[in-house]
């Protein structure tokens, strides 16, 4: 069952990564993912808001009209946003100012507003939780990796500490650098996914032959 | 198809000839370091192209050598004493991020050289915009000293040019290695236009746009001086030839290409005038990529519309000739007319049916 890509709960990390495959929530990754500190703050905020909102949102009656349900989800995520913002202010000082408008926009991200109804709330609650968890982990991995690499090459630092980089490429810290970097990551991701899919197919074909 | 391949190769040869002449002039002013810089750009560009094509499972053909002309354009837009690593990164960036990521030389969106220049400008702008004085020979591996701002920067900020017209024509002033030899650039432009290697419309549009606005709202001095200096400074001529008028990017029809170039010329002049932005034309040419794409889409639509058969009602009545046409002509016309009649009948049929149902 887990091998079936459509129903696997691990899809969120590699099979159907929300950033690299579906290009969802890419603006914070491109604009604010230029340092590891920003990436940590964004990952924390995104994970908390999305998981809590979706878990609470799963209790909204399914009989309600679609529009009303979406409004409820947005309201729930806005309410969840308040304590998350306070906590982020405590844990990551100055991060909210650096991230700017993209921080509150996390409360109405496409995973909560669109994918909740289209995908997650159609699953049993336990499976939904794990699937959602892996989607969020998939986002966090991409965010942290982007923040780490862009900070290292753009500023020559790792989490604010000076690293031994001779020639920082400042262009990588700019939004256009983020776009290019994300584009290259998407290409690499698809290449890896293709390789893995091919390997799986080869294994299956070998199994079929051996069965016969 | 074969003809277009040959054409691409011939364009590359012509471009390379003009670029190598500019490189020779750069060698005359700045010594062997400028040649090594060009060599580094070409080698890294070719290596990146080969790797990219291998990854895409394509063969490296003579047409793919266009990456070397792009590399030379990059080298000539830079300071001749720039760090070789920056030049190498720029060349690799041009091939990978600005060209092959979008599908290679058949699907180019940006001019690779312009995109690489903007990338270097945002990353190492200070190193890029400091130049040695002409006739200052820097060792290949020695650190450059006594670097100065370009004459374009001085003109943009103060409105003054401390060089004679003769010096300006020969390129005897500080600036990018290849973009200062004005006389050679004029010759190159004429040659490339007459051999149809660059888009004449885009080139003229860009130059006229800059000249027009320089005359209407001069940066400093008289109108004629403003026109003269604005065409010579800020890489206007160089970028108009090798970036704006690049046949791979500019619209195919000269009429559209003229307006594409005109917009670039006007907007880059506005940036120079208001922000004193050095070499603004390169940045604007990258930003105006959507305009080029829009013009190309429009061209495709026009081509499609031209190729589509004209409806029977709008067709002009055929001129009745006394002589009997050939057998072949009769059969072709008959077939077309029959098809048009059938189409019009099939279009009319449902409406009649609907009318009947309504009744």
Quick: pLDDT tens for B189-228. Answer: 999 999 999 999 999 999 999 999 999 998 878 899 999 9
A171 touches chain B (CB under 8 A): yes
Percent of chain B surpassing pLDDT 90: 60
Q: What is the mean pLDDT of residues B269-278?
A: 91
A60 touches chain B (CB under 8 A): no
Q: DSSP class of residue B139?
A: P
Which residue segment(s) compose the domain that B10 sits in?
A: 2-304
Chain A residues within 8 A of B85 when measuring between CB atoms:
166-167
Q: What is the mean pLDDT of residues B328-352?
A: 57
Q: Is pLDDT above 90 for B306? A: no
**Cβ separation of B101 and A174 shorter than 8 Å?**
no
**Cβ separation of A184 and B119 shorter than 8 Å?**
no
pLDDT tens readout for residues A167-186: 888 889 999 899 989 988 99
Query: How many CB pairs below 8 Å do chains A and B form together?
Result: 27
Is B83 contained in some domain? yes
* A85 within 8 A of A64, measured Cβ to Cβ: no
Q: What is the pLDDT of residue A83?
A: 94
Q: Which of A168, A176, A183 sits opposite B101 (nearest CB)?
A: A183
CA distance B244 to chain A (A): 21
Q: What is the pLDDT of residue B351?
A: 43
Query: Tokens at residue A10, please?
Result: 């691990």
Q: What is the mean pLDDT of residues A106-112?
A: 87
Res. B81 pLDDT band, cuts 50 70 90: very high
The residue among B304 and B340 whose pLDDT is bigger is B304
Cα–Cα distance measured from residue A152 to residue A164, given in angstroms and rounded to the nearest whole number: 9
Q: What is the pLDDT of residue B316?
A: 60
Res. B130 pLDDT band, cuts 50 70 90: very high
* CATH (domain of B100): 1.10.3430
Greatest CA separation found in chain A?
64
* A40 within 8 A of A151, measured Cβ to Cβ: no
Q: What is the pLDDT of residue B2?
A: 44
Res. B354 pLDDT band, cuts 50 70 90: very low
Q: Is pLDDT above 80 for A210? A: no
**Cβ separation of A184 and B101 shorter than 8 Å?**
yes
Q: State which residue of chain A sits closest to B117, comparing Cα positions.
A: A171
Query: Tokens at residue B98, please?
Result: 């600005």
Straight-line distance from the first to the last Cα atom of chain B, in angstroms, rounded to the nearest whole number: 57
Percent of chain B surpassing pLDDT 70: 84
Query: Tokens at residue B190, please?
Result: 């004429």
* A99 within 8 A of A32, measured Cβ to Cβ: yes
Q: What is the pLDDT of residue A135?
A: 92
The dihedral region occupied by B108, where left means phi > 0, alpha psi between -120 and 50, and beta the remainder, is beta
Q: Is pLDDT above 90 for B128? A: yes
- Secondary structure (3-state) at B153: helix
Is B235 contained in some domain? yes
pTM for the complete prediction?
Answer: 0.79
**Cβ separation of B97 and A170 shorter than 8 Å?**
no
Chain B residues within 8 A of A184 when measuring between CB atoms:
97, 101
Res. A197 pLDDT band, cuts 50 70 90: confident
Rg (CA), chain A: 19
Q: Is pLDDT above 60 for A93? A: yes
Is B359 contained in some domain? no
Res. A52 pLDDT band, cuts 50 70 90: very high
Most confident of A186-190, B175-179, B200-204, B302-306: B200-204
Q: What is the pLDDT of residue B352?
A: 42
Which long-range contacts does A178-181 make (Cβ < 8 Å, 24+ apart)? A178/A29, A178/A30, A178/A31, A178/A33, A178/A34, A178/A146, A178/A150, A179/A30, A180/B97, A180/B101, A181/A146, A181/A149, A181/A150
Is B105 contained in some domain? yes
Cα–Cα distance measured from residue B353 to residue B122, given in angstroms and rounded to the nearest whole number: 66
Query: Tokens at residue A141, please?
Result: 């991995």
Q: What is the mean pLDDT of residues A160-172?
A: 85
The dihedral region occupied by B235, where left means phi > 0, alpha psi between -120 and 50, and beta the remainder, is left
Q: Which of A168, A171, A187 sits opposite B119 (nearest CB)?
A: A171
Percent of chain A surpassing pLDDT 90: 42
Cβ partners under 8 Å of residue B356, min gap 6: none
Q: Is pLDDT above 60 for B144? A: yes
Cα–Cα distance measured from residue B359 to residue B164, given in angstroms and rounded to the nearest whole number: 88
- Pick from A114, A122, A137: nearest CA to A15: A137
DSSP bridge partners of A171 = none
**Cβ separation of B97 and A167 shorter than 8 Å?**
no
Is B326 contained in some domain? no
Q: Which residue has the tokens 């409406």?
A: B351
Q: What is the pLDDT of residue A3?
A: 45
Q: Work out how many domains chain B is built from and give that number.
A: 1
Q: Is pLDDT above 60 for A193? A: yes
Least confident of A165-169, B3-7, B277-281: B3-7
Q: What is the mean pLDDT of residues A107-115?
A: 86
Average pLDDT across chain A, whole number:
87
A169 touches chain B (CB under 8 A): yes
Q: Is pLDDT above 50 for B358? A: no
Chain A residues within 8 A of B86 when measuring between CB atoms:
167
Q: What is the pLDDT of residue B184?
A: 95
Is B158 contained in some domain? yes
Is B323 contained in some domain? no
- Secondary structure (3-state) at A153: helix
**Cβ separation of A167 and B119 shorter than 8 Å?**
no
pLDDT tens readout for residues B38-80: 999 999 999 999 999 998 888 888 888 899 999 999 999 999 9
Average pLDDT across chain B, whole number:
86
Percent of chain A surpassing pLDDT 70: 93
Is B341 contained in some domain? no
Q: At what angle do helices B182-194 and B200-216 cross, to 10 degrees?
A: 140
**Cβ separation of B86 and A183 shorter than 8 Å?**
no
Cα–Cα distance measured from residue B285 to residue B291, given in angstroms and rounded to the nearest whole number: 10
Q: Which of B83, B101, B122 sits opposite A171 (nearest CB)?
A: B122
- Secondary structure (3-state) at B28: helix
Chain B residues within 8 A of A172 when measuring between CB atoms:
123
Distance of CA A201 to the CA centre of its chain: 28
Give the DSSP per-residue string, B313-358. Answer: TTSPPPPPPSSPPPHHHHHHHHHHHHHHHHHHHHHHHHHHHHHHHH
* B273 within 8 A of B233, measured Cβ to Cβ: no
Cβ partners under 8 Å of residue B49, min gap 6: B60, B64, B67, B95, B100
**Cβ separation of A170 and B89 shorter than 8 Å?**
no
pLDDT tens readout for residues B151-160: 999 999 998 8
Instruction: Calculate the alpha carbon distances from B328 to A200, B212, B338 in Å.
Output: 59, 55, 15
């Amino acid at each position: 069952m887990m091998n079936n890509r459509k129903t696997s709960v691990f899809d969120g990390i590699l099979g159907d990564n929300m950033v690299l495959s579906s290009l969802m929530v890419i603006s914070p990754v491109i604009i604010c993912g230029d340092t590891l500190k920003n990436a940590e703050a964004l990952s924390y905020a995104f994970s908390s808001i999305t998981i809590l909102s979706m878990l609470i949102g799963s209790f909204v009656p399914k009989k309600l009209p679609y529009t009303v349900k979406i409004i409820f989800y947005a309201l729930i995520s806005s309410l969840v946003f308040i304590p998350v913002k306070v906590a982020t202010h405590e844990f990551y000082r100055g991060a909210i100012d650096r991230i700017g408008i993209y921080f509150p926009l996390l409360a109405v991200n496409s995973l909560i507003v669109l994918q909740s109804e289209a995908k997650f709330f159609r699953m049993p609650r336990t499976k939904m939780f794990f699937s959602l968890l892996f989607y969020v982990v998939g986002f966090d991995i991409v965010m942290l990796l982007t923040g780490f690499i862009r900070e290292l090459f753009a500023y020559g630092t790792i989490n604010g500490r000076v690293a031994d980089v001779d020639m920082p490429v400042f262009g990588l810290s700019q939004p256009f650098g983020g776009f290019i970097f994300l584009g290259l990551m998407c290409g690499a991701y698809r290449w890896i996914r293709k390789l893995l899919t091919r390997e799986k197919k080869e294994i299956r074909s070998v199994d079929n032959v051996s069965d016969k | 198809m074969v003809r277009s391949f040959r054409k691409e190769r011939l364009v590359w040869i012509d471009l390379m000839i003009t670029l190598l002449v500019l490189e020779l002039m750069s060698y005359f002013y700045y010594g062997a370091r400028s040649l090594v810089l060009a060599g580094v750009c070409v080698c890294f560009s070719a290596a990146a192209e080969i790797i990219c094509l291998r990854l895409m499972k394509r063969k490296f053909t003579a047409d793919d050598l266009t990456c070397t002309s792009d590399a030379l354009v990059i080298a000539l837009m830079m300071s001749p004493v720039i760090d070789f690593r920056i030049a190498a990164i720029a060349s690799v960036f041009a091939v990978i991020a600005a060209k092959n990521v979008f599908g290679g030389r058949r699907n180019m969106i940006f001019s690779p050289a312009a995109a690489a220049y903007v990338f270097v400008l945002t990353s190492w702008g200070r190193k890029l915009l400091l130049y040695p004085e002409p006739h200052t020979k820097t060792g290949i591996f020695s650190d450059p000293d006594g670097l100065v701002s370009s004459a374009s920067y001085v003109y943009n900020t103060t409105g003054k040019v401390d060089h004679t017209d003769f010096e300006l024509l020969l390129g005897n002033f500080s600036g990018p290695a290849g973009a200062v030899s004005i006389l050679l650039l004029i010759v190159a432009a004429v040659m490339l236009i007459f051999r149809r290697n660059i888009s004449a419309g885009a080139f003229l549009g860009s130059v006229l746009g800059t000249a027009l606005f320089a005359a209407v709202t001069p940066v400093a001095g008289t109108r004629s001086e403003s026109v003269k200096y604005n065409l010579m400074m800020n890489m206007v001529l160089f970028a108009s030839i090798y970036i704006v008028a690049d046949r791979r990017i500019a619209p195919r029809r000269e009429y559209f290409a003229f307006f594409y170039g005109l917009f670039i010329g006007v907007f880059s002049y506005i940036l120079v005038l208001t922000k004193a932005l050095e070499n603004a034309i390169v940045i604007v040419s990258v930003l105006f990529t959507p305009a080029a794409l829009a013009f190309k889409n429009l061209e495709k639509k026009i081509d499609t519309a031209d190729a589509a058969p004209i409806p029977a009602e709008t067709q002009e009545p055929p001129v009745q000739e006394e002589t009997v046409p050939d057998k072949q002509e009769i059969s072709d016309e008959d077939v077309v007319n029959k098809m048009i009649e059938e189409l019009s009948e099939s279009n009319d049929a449902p409406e009649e049916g609907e009318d009947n149902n309504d009744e």
